[in-house]
Amino acid sequence: MADTSCCKIRRTTASDYEGILQLMRCSFLRDEPLHVAVGLTDEDGACLEMEKFCLETLADVAPGGEVVGACLNGCHEPGHVGQMEAEAESCPNPKLKKILRFLATLERRADVFGKFPEVDKLLEIRTIAVDGAWRGRGVATALMERTRQIAPELGFALIKVDCTSEFSALAMMKLDAHCVFSMKYADYCAPNSDEPVFEPEPPHTGVKTFIQIVPQGEHSSQAQFDTDRSASWGVEEFENRTTNTF
């Protein structure tokens, strides 16, 4: 059961950026299976190119409190895979380039828009990070649930997340998401090679793409989403508070 008392979930702001980047360095950048497999970060858990990607995903909105978890979300529309492939090829970091190429290949093979041709845009959960001291307390699940709650207000009918970690896949299954594509890391090899590009440690044996269809309520058309911005959420810790604020 989720234990996120003494926290509230709110929209991120520019004043949160450094706290979120520090959280990313200590968790997502250092622990994500593909990052570990290619040795993406330096001794301090930093990767400037990946941090730039995280900052580009964040949106502006109010400060306060220590960030103990963050969920960075973005928008995709049909035809975006070509841009992902171009960004991968132009990436100056060879380790990150491997990951970006993989994600572009995954996007093309999963073909979510082909499976749901009536959808003209989707909300993608791109990155989730949780402070080590708060893991196992339902923070990641609460962040994803908050994204699901707000999606119809932003005009989305579909949520998508690529789970490169077995743990994030389990979290999506807890939310009754549907797996529409999966691929084992052992089956993703470099051109003209039988050697896998990634060999993450168990239990991370493959990637899964999950979707959730968003129920369209009475408020679904009242808010429009700017596709150049994200709906990103942070979990903020408070002392002497025992209720969640959503």
pTM higher than the cut 0.85: no
Which residue would you say has higher pLDDT here, 210 or 222? Answer: 210
pLDDT tens figures, 25-63: 888 888 999 999 999 987 777 888 988 877 776 532 334
The answer on pLDDT for 21 being more than 70 is yes
pLDDT score at 62 = 32
Candidates 83, 90, 99, 81; CA nearest to 188 is 99
Average per-residue pLDDT for the chain: 82
DSSP structural state of residue 86: H
**Helix count and strand count (H, E) for the chain:** 9, 7
Confidence of residue 236 (pLDDT cuts 50, 70, 90): very low
DSSP structural state of residue 44: T
DSSP structural state of residue 245: B
pLDDT score at 22 = 86
Which residue would you say has higher pLDDT here, 216 or 197? Answer: 197
pLDDT tens figures, 187-204: 999 889 999 999 999 999
User: With pLDDT > 90 as the criterion, what percentage of the chain qualifies?
Assistant: 46
Confidence of residue 6 (pLDDT cuts 50, 70, 90): low
Confidence of residue 174 (pLDDT cuts 50, 70, 90): confident
| Maximum C-alpha span of the chain | 59
pLDDT score at 2 = 52
Provide the strand spans (E) within the chain: 7-11, 66-76, 122-130, 158-163, 178-184, 206-213, 233-237
Instruction: Judge contact between 234 and 228, C-beta under 8 A.
Output: no
User: With pLDDT > 70 as the criterion, what percentage of the chain qualifies?
Assistant: 81
User: How many angstroms separate the Cα of 101 from the Cα of each of 191, 238, 245?
Assistant: 12, 40, 39
pLDDT score at 232 = 55
Q: Which residues contact 112 (CB under 8 A, 6 or more apart)?
A: 119, 122, 158, 160, 180, 181, 209, 211
Tokens of 75: 């928008």
- Phi, psi dihedrals of residue 87, rounded to the nearest 5°: -65, -35
The answer on pLDDT for 217 being more than 70 is no
pLDDT score at 5 = 59
The C-alpha angle 216, 157, 103, rounded to 5 degrees, equals 160
pLDDT score at 65 = 61
Which residue would you say has higher pLDDT here, 135 or 179? Answer: 179
> What are 105's strand-pairing partners?
none
Give the C-alpha separation, 171 to 214, whole Å: 17
Tokens of 220: 């679904």
pLDDT score at 91 = 95
